[in-house]
Amino acid sequence: MKILAFDTASDHACVAVQWDEAVHTRKLQGYARHAEHLLAAIAQTFAEKGLGNWQQEIDAIAFGAGPGAFTGVRLACAVAQGMGMALGKPLLALDALALVGRSAYPEGPSGRVWVAADARMGEWYHRWFEVTAGGEWQPRSEPALVSPHTARWDEIAIDPDGTEFRFAGFRLAEGWPESWPAPFETRWIDAIAPEALLAAARAAAAQEQFVAADAAQPVYVRERVALTLEEQQALRAKKREAATQSRA
């Protein structure tokens, strides 16, 4: 199968191409550059591999749909929609939190994995997954927001008494709260791996999760993208209180 995939939900964006058995990747850095350079990076990736007729031959276009940086997920969706409409190709909207999990655990360990990514404003995007023996990432909860400073574990966990789970964290400013039970394995990543992007795209295509270009939507979990001054001050106070309690 021939798939073009890209993700721009963080300042480490990537472009990946699955061309039958061959894989080609490219990375971009800097939020301010994504809108300016994404299309050029896609064209260069194909040109360097001599794939001049990719517009006609490509089977699907996959994009990181979020949740993630507001501008980044909108950019990825808009570019995918424009290309899909222009070329008459279907889209694959990829769960950004599953991309984090796949990047952290490329070997696809079976079992439960909790994934979290920085949502700024003192919060994390998070979602639970069950990874099958065949490496399929099956969601076990909806994507949501959590504050690591104030949330109780029983408000987050799908099985509050269970401790057999792995954790994958993406660019989190805060560490693991001491009041939460520790996972038996923790991995932190700073960027989405292009290989994880293609693995998710292949899995979505195999399950025929195609979306018409005019129906694709980014995934938003939060309506607001900034805190007021008063909310920023309250958040700093909560962080100080949490730090004091952890030292007590």
Could you read off the pLDDT of 175-189 as tens digits, one per residue?
788 889 888 899 999
Q: How far is CA 196 from CA 7, 29, 108, 142, in A?
A: 11, 18, 10, 21
Residue 191 has φ and ψ, to the nearest 5°, of -155, 150
Would the CATH topology of 2-97+191-215 be identical to that of 107-189? yes
Cα–Cα dist 45/24, whole Å: 7
pTM of the model: 0.87
Q: What is the pLDDT of residue 198?
A: 97
- The string of pLDDT tens digits covering residues 37-64 is 899 999 999 999 899 899 999 999 999 9
Residue 24 has φ and ψ, to the nearest 5°, of -130, 135
- The string of pLDDT tens digits covering residues 122-159 is 899 999 999 999 999 999 999 999 999 889 998 899 88
Q: What is the pLDDT of residue 111?
A: 93
Q: What is the pLDDT of residue 74?
A: 93
- The string of pLDDT tens digits covering residues 95-130 is 999 999 999 999 988 899 999 999 988 899 999 999
Topology of 2-97+191-215 in CATH? Nucleotidyltransferase; domain 5 (3.30.420)
Class of domain 107-189: alpha beta
* Sequence spans of domains, the chain: 2-97+191-215, 107-189
pLDDT above 90 coverage of the chain, percent? 64
